[in-house]
Chains A and B, each alone.
Chain A
Amino acid sequence: MGAPVATPPAVPPPGKVPPPPAKAAVEGSATWRLVDRIGLAICWVLGLLFCAIAVAIVVYLLSQGIKYLRPSMLVTPATAGFAQGESGGFSDALAGTLIVAAMGIAIALPIGIAIAVWLVEYGRPAGLARITESTIEAIAGIPSIVLALFGTVIFSSTALGFLSRTSDGVVFGRSFFAASTMLALVALPLVVASTREGLQSIPRHVREASYAVGKTKAATTRRILIPASRPQIATGAMLGLGRIIGDTAIIVVLLGATQNFAPVEDAAFPFDYLRGAGTTLTNFVYEASPTGNLNQPQKAYAAAFVLLLMVLALNAAVDVVHRRARKVGAWSS
């Protein structure tokens, strides 16, 4: 082989100034291949179409809802009547939704956090952790009507008679307790998933920094890890709440699907209502829709409007939590 040839340095010939670079370094699609440009166009169109559909649904429901919603509906329970103007409002359904949401998330949140902490921080024996993981994924995939059916079996058992109406030893099995417990199961996978995400996003050296000043694993989890994943936990709770508020099947099967509260007679104040049957907004919308027993579509729109506002508020809350979390800052790796 010959001597290596030194490559001359790339100096532009004198007198010829290289053209200035384009104004911005942002790549335009003008130079792309045709297929890529068509692909981009399809993405744009589908994205805009989806936006349009979502906006149309929300705007239609809001406009219909505003048209039929009367403030009095929020405070009067449903009553029997022949015309839509005589049949009262849906205050019991609204209260039922709030009760079910509060109880469901009160059950799902602590259990979900505990499961996530165990999976991420301990997770031993590994086989058991894997089984837990896939069990939770399975629960997330089970249709809620199936969970509801399962709930009727459990809550109709004599041992759990104290959670619902009981007469002559026969357990009714439908109550706010029963429905909330099963709804918690619906929300649980979401809480677990986002809490795990939060815990996993904390770098290992942050945990070690806590151990390295003599803190136990329990103290580290309580004071560092759970507070640090608070935004994700909050997100999980909001998503879970959304699922609970929106669920109909469990309500129909496990809450008795009445139009009003039906408290039991032989219990003290909160428990008479919680042990009794009731209804929620989703159930009310279903019943008031043309397929339901009430067939009062205007009331259905009004109730759906309230439901929609609640869901939109939850979405906004998730957004706020995320923005707050960004403000606090994060570790570099």
Chain B
Amino acid sequence: MEFLTPPPPPIRRLKLEDAKAAQQVAPPAGIATGGDVPVDRGPYGHRSTGTSQARGGFTGARRSIGAPQFSIRRMEIDDVSVSYSNREAVKSVSLPVRQGEVLAMIGPSGCGKTTLLRSLNRLTELTSTATLRGRILLDDVDIVLIEPTLLRRRVTMVFQQPNPFPMSVFDNIAYVLREQGSRRQRKKTLEPRVHSALDRAGLFEEVKDNLDHPALKLSGGQQQRLCIARALAAEPEVLLLDEPCSALDPQSTQVIEDLIVKLRDDVAVVIVTHNLQQAYRIADHVAFMYLGELVEYNSATALFGSPRERRTQEYVSGAFG
């Protein structure tokens, strides 16, 4: 059975990009645009129409961040595999995590990127069936040698859903600063640190008059920034973000993306994202994972502009995932 007329090319979603903003932000020098990159479309001929449209998402001018000023290696993922019962979710992945850069992990659902992220502060251990092989080093110390609560103060995490605790804005941050479960420290002594954490998350100006209001009454974007402030209050060395914008509207997303880029000098930032455009906009290095394997790790410009691996190119161009 054969079609007499060729099937129409699949309809693809165009990038949701604000044309005005794109005009205002000039493309920074030194970042390759799509036109400059020779692309071999041979094997994907029948998708050529769609491919070229999707590729347009990564040639745009929104990548406004400059190259990192410096980069210091903070964490080292060394041949790490994670399995749940019999299923291997992450297969011998090795990656560096550097301060001064944003590392984005991309890949289709179920490719193990969130699992890998959660193993960086030993949150995987909460799942009783999970086992981890390989080593993860934080400043050259294996994290299994660090007490979990201490490790999780040095490597904090922000989740997909905004999840402020059901208390006031102030107490959300103060909770992190206080000793385990204690309520002893006075409000006055904690105040400067709470304010600075909120300030670093870019939330202080908006909530400074309402620090006593319940945190769950903030807007979604504010809640998520509160969660980032909470994660920063512990003075971490590494900040893990698990799809922090997936539940947010575009405006809040942009605010948080700007914040993430701003934070990269103070903490090593690792972000898991489904959103390729987002990874392109904010990441300095990108790791592409597929079915538990690390397929490609490269600088964002290189990975999106001229991917080495065929699977990366297919994924980045929207052929699957």
Query: A56 interface residue, CB < 8 Å from B?
Result: no
Instruction: Tell whether, in the assembled complex, residue A208 and residue B126 are in contact, meaning their CB atoms are under 8 Å apart.
Output: yes
Instruction: Flag if A328 contacts B214 (CB, 8 Å).
Output: yes
Contacts of B149 in A (CB 8 A): 214-216
Verify A206–B181 contact, CB threshold 8 A: no
Q: A205-B161, A213-B153, A214-B150 are in contact. Are A332 and B231 (CB under 8 A)?
A: no
Q: Is B157 an interface residue (CB 8 A)?
A: yes
The list of the 6 closest CB pairs from A to B, nearest first, reads A329-B216, A219-B181, A214-B153, A212-B157, A214-B152, A219-B180
Please report which residues of chain A, range 307-330, place their CB below 8 angstroms from some CB of chain B when the two chains form the complex: 328-330
Q: Determine which of A211, A215, A216, A331 lies in contact with B123 in the assembled complex, contact meaning CB atoms within 8 Å.
A: A211
- Contact between chains at B163 and A206 (CB < 8 Å): yes
Closest residue to B159 on the A side, CB-wise?
A: A205
* Given A4-B3, A215-B180, A218-B181, also A209-B216 (CB < 8 A): no
Distance between Cα atoms of A214 and B238 in the complex (Å) = 13
> Per-residue 0/1 for B140-151: is the Cβ within 8 Å of any A Cβ (1 yes, 0 no)?
000000000111
The verdict on A223 contacting chain B, using a C-beta distance below 8 Å, is yes
- Contact A329–B123 (Cβ < 8 Å): no
**B180, A216: Cβ atoms under 8 Å?**
yes
Residues of A within 8 A of B160 (CB): 205
Query: Is the pair B181, A209 in contact by a Cβ cutoff of 8 Å?
Result: no
- Enumerate chain B interface residues (CB-CB to A < 8 A): 1, 3-5, 121, 123, 126, 149-153, 156-157, 159-163, 165-167, 175-176, 180-181, 183, 214, 216-217, 220, 227, 230-231, 233-234, 240, 247
Return chain B residues, CB-CB under 8 Å to A214: 149-153, 156, 176, 234
A binding-site residues for B, Cβ under 8 Å: 1-4, 203, 205-206, 208-216, 218-219, 222-224, 227-228, 328-333
Q: Which residue of B lies closest to A218 (CB)?
A: B181
Shortest Cβ gap from A144 to chain B (Å): 36
A211 touches B216 (CB 8 A): no
Apart from A3-B5, A216-B149: 20 A-B pairs, beta carbons within 8 A: A206-B165, A208-B126, A209-B159, A210-B165, A212-B159, A213-B152, A213-B156, A213-B175, A214-B150, A214-B151, A215-B149, A216-B181, A218-B181, A224-B165, A228-B166, A328-B166, A329-B216, A331-B162, A331-B163, A332-B162
Q: What are the residues of chain A within 8 A of B216 when measuring CB–CB?
A: 328-331
Contact of B161 with A331 in the complex, beta carbons under 8 Å = yes
Alpha-carbon distance between A207 and B167 when the two chains are bound, in angstroms: 14
Shortest distance from the beta carbon of B185 to any chain A beta carbon, whole Å: 13
User: A213 touching B166 by the CB < 8 A rule?
Assistant: no
Q: Which A residues are in CB contact (< 8 Å) with B176?
A: 213-215
- Bound together, the chains give a CA A171 to CA B276 distance in angstroms of 78
Residue of B nearest to A3 (CB): B4
By CB atoms of chain A within 10 A, which of B4, B163, B214, B247 has the most?
B163
* Interchain nearest-CB distance for B103 vs A (Å): 18
Chain B: CB-nearest residue to A219: B181
From A203, A211, A218, A219, give the contact of B152 (CB < 8 A): A211
Docked-complex contact A212 and B180, CB < 8 angstroms: no
Instruction: Assess whether B180 is in contact with A329, with CB atoms less than 8 Å apart.
Output: no
| Complex contacts, A215 vs chain B, CB 8 Å | 149, 175-176, 180-181
B161 and A203 within 8 A (CB): yes
Which of A4, A208, A214 is packed against the most chain B CB atoms within 10 Å?
Answer: A214
- Please, which residues of chain B bring their CB within 8 A of the CB of A206? 163, 165
Min C-beta distance of B311 to chain A, whole Å:
30
CA distance in complex: A332, B180 (Å)? 27
Q: Is the beta-carbon distance between A222 and B181 smaller than 8 angstroms? A: yes
CA distance A222 to B165 in the complex (A): 12
**Which residues from chain A contact B123 at a C-beta distance below 8 Å?**
208, 211-212
Among A1, A203, A213, A222, the residue within 8 A (CB) of B1 is: A1
B161 with A333: CB separation less than 8 A: yes
Cβ–Cβ < 8 Å partners of B220 in chain A: 332
**Known contacts A1-B1, A329-B214, A330-B216: does B161 contact A212 (CB below 8 Å)?**
no
B247 touches A332 (CB 8 A): yes
A214, B156: Cα distance in complex, Å: 8
Query: Could you tell me the distance in whole angstroms from the C-beta of A321 to the nearest C-beta in chain B?
Result: 14
Chosen A-B contacts, 18 in total, with CB atoms closer than 8 Å, are: A4-B3, A206-B163, A214-B150, A214-B156, A215-B149, A215-B180, A216-B149, A216-B180, A216-B181, A228-B166, A328-B214, A328-B216, A328-B217, A330-B216, A331-B161, A331-B216, A332-B161, A332-B162
**Contact indicator B5/A205 (Cβ below 8 Å):** no
Q: How far is the CB of B278 from chain A (nearest CB, A)?
A: 20
- Which residues of chain A have C-beta atoms less than 8 A from B126's C-beta? 208, 211
State in angstroms the CA–CA spacing of A228 and B175 once bound together: 14
In the bound assembly, the distance between CA atoms of A1 and B5 in angstroms comes to: 12
Task: Give the distance to chain B from A296, nearest Cβ to Cβ, in Å.
Answer: 51
Q: How far is the CA of A222 from the CA of B162 in the complex (A)?
A: 21
**Are B217 and A329 in contact (CB-based, < 8 A)?**
yes
Whole-angstrom CA separation of A271 from B157 in the bound complex: 54
User: Which residue of A211, A212, A227, A332 contacts B166 across the interface (Cβ within 8 Å)?
Assistant: A227
Chain B residues within an 8 Å CB radius of A333? 161
A208 to B: closest C-beta gap in Å: 6
Cα A330 to Cα B214 in complex, Å, equals 10
Measured CA separation A332–B160 after assembly (Å): 11
**Bound-complex Cα distance A223 to B184 (A):** 13
Cβ of B308 to closest chain A Cβ, rounded Å: 34
Q: How far is the CB of A268 from chain B (nearest CB, A)?
A: 35
A158 to B166, alpha carbons, bound, how many Å?
49
Task: Tell me the bound Cα distance from A210 to B157 in angstroms.
Answer: 10
CA distance A227 to B164 in the complex (A): 13
Instruction: Report the bound CA distance from A205 to B247 in whole Å.
Output: 14
- Tell me, in angstroms, the Cα distance from A211 to B180 when the chains sit together: 11
CA distance A331 to B215 in the complex (A): 10
Interchain CB contact under 8 A, A212 and B4 = no
Chain A residue numbers with a CB within 8 Å of B234 are 213-214
